[in-house]
Amino acid sequence: MKGLVLSLVLVTLSALCAQGDVPVQPDFQEDKILGKWYGIGLASNSAWFQAKKQQMKMCTTIITPTADGNLDVVATFPKQDRCERKSMTYIKTEQPGRFLSQSPRYGSDHVIRVVETNYNEYTLMHTIKTKGNEVNTIVSLFGRTKNLRPELLERFQQLAKEQGLTDDNILILPHTDSCMSEV
């Protein structure tokens, strides 16, 4: 456990240096972020994202509280001819709306911030992902429905560009009905 805490502290410090001053939703209310969301937009400067973005489609994400007060985040998405699930635990920090997470499967650490949300329509998230010496930026747009107002899509793209991402790094995920009822 000591190793995990030290690892998360080091990740937090390196991510804080990498991300500058990314805001967190003022007066973040965790209970209102719970429930089902659709993945609407994704932006990243990672090589993995560039290689896979042509196959990516909309996904569903379910956020639920854990017994120890953190958040379980489960995304279900179409992958080839099946539905795949990816689970992460978002560990709360001293700042409401900022979380830490690790992916032992991929060997990466994440600092996640809920940048902006109105809870019943959309959520914008910013993530710094660290894997070894590689540090990547991820900006995500989630909606309570599959369709969001054009100005929210524009706000997502604006936030991504403010974080140094380019048009080539930004993807509005294509709609699909595949795997949407699997959650």
The 8-class DSSP code of residue 97 comes to T
Q: Which among 17, 59, 83, 179 is annotated as catalytic? A: 59
22 CB-side CA count, 13 A: 28
- Give CA–CA dist 77/178, Å, rounded: 8
Per-residue CA distances from 138 to 19, 34, 44, 93, 164 (Å):
11, 21, 4, 19, 10
Q: Which two tokens stand for residue 44?
A: 């990243």
17 given a catalytic annotation:
no
Strands (E), the chain: 35-44, 59-65, 71-79, 82-92, 98-103, 108-117, 122-131, 134-143, 170-172
Q: Please list the active-site residues.
A: 59
